[in-house]
Amino acid sequence: MTTPDMSWGAHAPGMAPMPGWQVPGLQAPGVQAPGMTPPSVPRQPTAGSAATRSGAFTPEAARQDIPVLQRPVNGRPVVWLDNGATTQKPRQVIETLAAYYATANSNIHRGAHTLAREATEMYEGGRAAVAGFLGAPSPDTIVFTRGTTEAVNLVAQSWGRANLGPGDEILVSTLEHHSNIVPWQMIAKERRARVVPIPLLPDGSIDQDAYADLLSFRTQLVAISHASNVLGTVPPVKEMTALAHRYNAKVLVDGAQAVAHFPVDVQDLDSDFYVFSGHKLYAPTGIGAMYGKPEVLAAMPPWQGGGNMIDQVEFGRVTYAPVPHCFEAGTGHISGVVGLKAAIDWLTSFGREAVAAYETALLGHAQQALAAVPGLTVLGSAAEKIAVLTFTLAGQDPMTVARRLDQDGIAVRAGHHCAQPSLRHYGLEAATRASLALYNTAEEVDQLAAALTQMQAQAAV
């Protein structure tokens, strides 16, 4: 098959071509259409592999790839500390999306022409890349979704409808984002099951004693986040999963806030489901993925019906495509998958362990810097956490704090962060959140602390 030329040449009338847009590696080698032998799973590169960049990781190396960080906001260089809501995109992702649409755009799987074959290879190559990124055993264990929210709803509506009944219980930690609470409430109401919250300790960690006490043979599923979007807490997911499995309960792990910060191995975790969103992983919006154990996926009925997920359709009967395609009704977000693979390639090029170590050090610096701000209280002090700092500022409304920081070009998030139970654990309805990523620097953290200190000084006058 001919590899499409990914050099950026043609451009719209009246517009200058984008300089230097070369997109190597967009075509995924060896990928087959559904029903044929799947590609092998590429393992994610490690810090010492040939696929990583030379030299130690630095945030400056990452920043050079992020175009939006070069723009000013309100006359100041933008300081993007809203990574928990969405991450900024490297040029490698942006260029890959543009090159895909410019040279290889097509629907996938069913076309006999060249562009269809090329687009299918890219799409299924993305599936193999996600499998490798998560340490999954096969690309066939990866289902593409619009994001974490749709993935949780898929499990709730497919697995949940088939397996939950009156009196059954779903344990959900109080850390959870609403997208890992509300779908369980909806299916529990329909199936006359019960959602049971797992409480937190004062430091924002999950109360493991309470969790052990809540587990029973009524427990059918445990839903836990791998990292909290408000408190940054990283629960002992592997241990919690092992305990749930003693009661034959399934475990769904929300990895939306985890996958960008540290390596994940779903086989080591032994989770039954693992879900995440691309846009928090330096990839486009509208794309995400769900990992499921092969035997669990094989027993689940399709959730949505339509094209792509069928084998044969008659008015008297229908048969479905094999896993994972039976869960991907309609035309998928093809360019989103292509962009997701580019984002994974970009992130892993730095070495995951090196990035995790840098972010841990940056978190330590941020904790010290914010501790010096008068009247500032950071929520959550669990020993294991990602670089998320949600805080209150005495006498200041969180939304006002965010608006005033924006005047200095500093972007943070304010509100309930779609995690109201977590905030109410501290008696709050809203707070301000600064969430860090690999391209943030100690200097940016110091700018945040200085702006907050100045804000308090002005309020005291």
Domain range holding 177?
A: 120-348
**Average pLDDT in the 69-90 region?**
97
On whether residue 9 sits in a domain, the answer given is no
Q: Are residues 285 and 146 in the same domain?
A: yes
Q: Are residues 174 and 230 in the same domain?
A: yes
Q: Does 344 score more than 60 pLDDT?
A: yes
Location of structure tokens 């809501």: 85
> Which of the four pLDDT bands, split at 50, 70 and 90, describes residue 261?
very high
**Average pLDDT in the 189-194 region?**
98
CATH number at residue 410: 3.90.1150.10
CATH number at residue 343: 3.40.640.10
CA dist 2 and 117 (Å) reads 10
On whether residue 130 sits in a domain, the answer given is yes
Q: Does 91 score more than 50 pLDDT?
A: yes
pLDDT of residue 54: 57
On whether residue 404 sits in a domain, the answer given is yes
Decide which of 348, 382, 402 is a domain's last residue.
348
Q: Are residues 289 and 383 in the same domain?
A: no
Which residues make Cβ contacts (< 8 Å) with residue 74, sequence separation at least 6? 406, 407, 408, 409
Q: To the nearest whole percent, how much of the chain has pLDDT over 70?
A: 88
On whether residue 31 sits in a domain, the answer given is no
On whether residue 55 sits in a domain, the answer given is no
On whether residue 124 sits in a domain, the answer given is yes
> Which of the four pLDDT bands, split at 50, 70 and 90, describes residue 114?
very high
Q: What residues does 206 pair with on adjacent strands?
A: 200
pLDDT of residue 111: 82
Question: What is the rounded average pLDDT for all residues in the chain?
Answer: 90
Q: Are residues 324 and 361 in the same domain?
A: no
Q: Are residues 327 and 396 in the same domain?
A: no
On whether residue 78 sits in a domain, the answer given is no
Q: Does 48 score more than 50 pLDDT?
A: no
pLDDT of residue 56: 81
Q: Does 141 score more than 70 pLDDT?
A: yes
Give the number of domains in the chain: 2
- Write out the catalytic residue numbers: 418
Cut 0.85: pTM above it: yes
Least confident span in 60-64, 109-113, 220-224, 277-281: 109-113
Q: Are residues 344 and 404 in the same domain?
A: no
Q: Does 41 score more than 50 pLDDT?
A: no
pLDDT of residue 16: 35
On whether residue 99 sits in a domain, the answer given is no
Decide which of 348, 372, 401 is a domain's last residue.
348
Q: Are residues 343 and 298 in the same domain?
A: yes
Q: Does 34 score more than 50 pLDDT?
A: no
Q: Are residues 340 and 402 in the same domain?
A: no
**Average pLDDT in the 262-279 region?**
98
pLDDT of residue 55: 64
Give the closest residue to 205 by CA, choosing from 243, 247, 181, 175: 175
> Which of the four pLDDT bands, split at 50, 70 and 90, describes residue 39?
very low
